[in-house]
Amino acid sequence: DSGVTQTPKHLITATGQRVTLRCSPRSGDLSVYWYQQSLDQGLQFLIQYYNGEERAKGNILERFSAQQFPDLHSELNLSSLELGDSALYFCASSVEGTGPGEQYFGPGTRLTVT
Amino acid sequence: DAKTTQPNSMESNEEEPVHLPCNHSTISGTDYIHWYRQLPSQGPEYVIHGLTSNVNNRMASLAIAEDRKSSTLILHRATLRDAAVYYCILRPHNDYKLSFGAGTTVTVRA
């Protein structure tokens, strides 16, 4: 158990809909990262937040957005969903946004868009 | 991003050592070498990282070549639980995202 929790575990929704994925980092970790894992693209970095502020952005679509709240939990919002958005979404956290910063990953949310 | 090259797959017998190579010929002086693994149906798991010197922890050892253009992750006694995809990742000191490649799929035979 990494200490990172993600809800829900599974999500099935239709094209065009909007969903919110939630992540609670390990106690004391200020940085939260979101990754997408699909069969054709592998594991891809989406976005990082550090203590409530956006720190880095990766291949995140404009239809996707994220935020980190004062209690440090984070939400990833996916809108206008397409079939190709079906994937595993992982959240990770680390102690700081600097240094070697090993990341601890949650169990993931499996999103299926039908 | 600096790239890494790993074999697609490796097989090992239980309780034998596993040596996983990683080539990173374009590594820069401030890139950390990280290893993560992903067990089936789980999120990635941190294994070990290093900068210049060899590193040991309870999970594995990391041997880094003197010129830093390659490294080897060593699992000293493979168990069935070590069957996973192992990712070698270079992480610049000022860039905290992890860029995953295809990794090496390790199979452990009982």
Q: For residue range A13-58, what is the model confidence (pLDDT) as tens digits? A: 999 999 999 999 999 899 999 999 998 888 999 999 999 999 999 9
- CA neighbours closer than 13 Å in the CB half-sphere of residue A12: 1
Confidence (pLDDT) at A97: 57
Alpha-carbon span A17 to B20, nearest angstrom = 43
What is the per-residue pLDDT across B46-73, written as a single tens digit (0 to 9) for each? 999 999 999 999 999 999 999 999 999 9
Q: Is A24 on the interface with B (CB under 8 A)?
A: no
Contact, A85 vs A109, CB < 8 A? no
Work out the percent of chain B whose per-residue pLDDT is above 70: 98
Answer for the pair B76, B61: CB distance below 8 angstroms, yes or no. yes
b/e code B3-14 from CB counts within 10 Å (16+ = b)? ebebeeebebee
What letter would DSSP give residue A25? P
- Check CB contact under 8 Å for A56 and B102: no
- For residue B106, the Cα-to-chain-centroid distance in whole angstroms is 11
User: What local confidence, expressed as pLDDT, does residue B92 receive?
Assistant: 86
Residues 41-80 of A with CB under 8 A from B: 42-45, 48, 55-56, 58
